[in-house]
Amino acid sequence: MVKMTLGVNIDHVAVLREARRVNDPDILQALYVACEAGADQITIHLREDRRHIQDSDVTNIMAHSKVPVNLECSINTEILNIVADIKPHRATLVPEKREEVTTEGGLDVFSYEEEIRFAIEQLHDSIIPVSLFVDPTIEAMDKSKELGAEMVELHTGHFSNLWAMLNSNLGHSNHSVKELELPRYELSEKLEEALLKIQEAATHAKKIGLEVAAGHGLNYHNVHEMMNINEITELNIGQSIIARSVFSGLSDAVKEMKKLTTRHV
Ligand code: PXP
């Protein structure tokens, strides 16, 4: 059985801090607690608008983390130069739009082919392995390989939205996903299709020599679906862990997710 790496995304701790522009909660405390509770990796996103993680957070986390740091970033030149300097254990290239609430959709590896190839080369020159956050399609796997990435992170946002519209109260809330307000049988079919696409993309990626991670919208209720896909060896999870930690504390929230994402040999 293959091991599963749990990457805990602690951006949301910085979201809370930046909401009041104070020094509380302390991101380094989040780092220590998450690692102590079983996080195998820390994931952070240095956004161009610095809406949560700041440059100093990245430096401090790199200096203090006892587990590898996966630094998500866009292909913006200024950001890439910072990442190349900081030398995280891995860089994950993600698309970024200022107006979005979070990373909505995978990197467009077809329209920005040359920019992404250049970014990968720059990061490789600084000896940083690169993962691409892409939609789960066979074409995106092939293109990621061709561009020189060693890893892909499959965007599970569509799967997670479908899962929540079918199995939770999301559809009755203010945050309902309008285009997924569909009869239950249709949602069910679409969910099956979305899972199959993730499975097929993961199988193909592994076959062509890419490591496979997945992330976005994964939570305590839907993560078991990813555990059934053996080619996926890493999950990056943030929002659901930090949301649960408000009620149960970060340590218990990470421990519970670690339990759900452990493959027993
Ligand atoms: N992976 C990537 C590449 C992301 O951009 C994000 C969101 O920042 C995540 C994983 C974590 O997503 P979530 O916060 O929905 O668990």
Q: Is 157 in the pocket of ligand 1 (CB under 6 A)?
A: no
The confidence score (pLDDT) of residue 100 equals 65
Contact between 83 and 131 under an 8 Å Cβ cutoff? The reply is no
> What would the pLDDT profile of 30-49 be if each residue is shown by its tens digit?
999 999 999 999 999 999 99
Catalytic member of 12, 45, 52, 204? 45
pLDDT of residue 74 exceeding 90, the answer is yes
Look at residue 205 and give its three-state secondary structure: helix
DSSP letters spanning 251-262: HHHHHHHHHHTP
Q: Tell how far the Cα of 236 is from the centroid of ligand 1, in angstroms.
A: 6
Name residues whose C-beta falls within 8 Å of residue 16's C-beta, 6 or more positions apart in sequence. Answer: 25
End-to-end CA distance of the chain: 5
This prediction's pTM: 0.96
Instruction: For residue 17, report the phi and psi dihedrals to the nearest 5 degrees.
Output: -65, -45
Q: Looking at the domain covering 5-260, what would its CATH class be?
A: alpha beta
Q: Provide the residue ranges of all domains of the chain, joining segments of one domain with +.
A: 5-260
Instruction: For residue 155, report the phi and psi dihedrals to the nearest 5 degrees.
Output: -75, 115
The confidence score (pLDDT) of residue 99 equals 63
Please report, for residues 11, 18, 39, the alpha-carbon distance to residue 25 in angstroms, rounded to integers and kept in the order given.
11, 9, 19
155 is catalytic: no
Q: Which two tokens stand for residue 6?
A: 């749990």
- Residue with the bigger pLDDT between 78 and 103: it is 78
Q: Is 143 in the pocket of ligand 1 (CB under 6 A)?
A: no
pLDDT of residue 219 exceeding 70, the answer is yes
> What would the pLDDT profile of 14-24 be if each residue is shown by its tens digit?
999 999 999 99
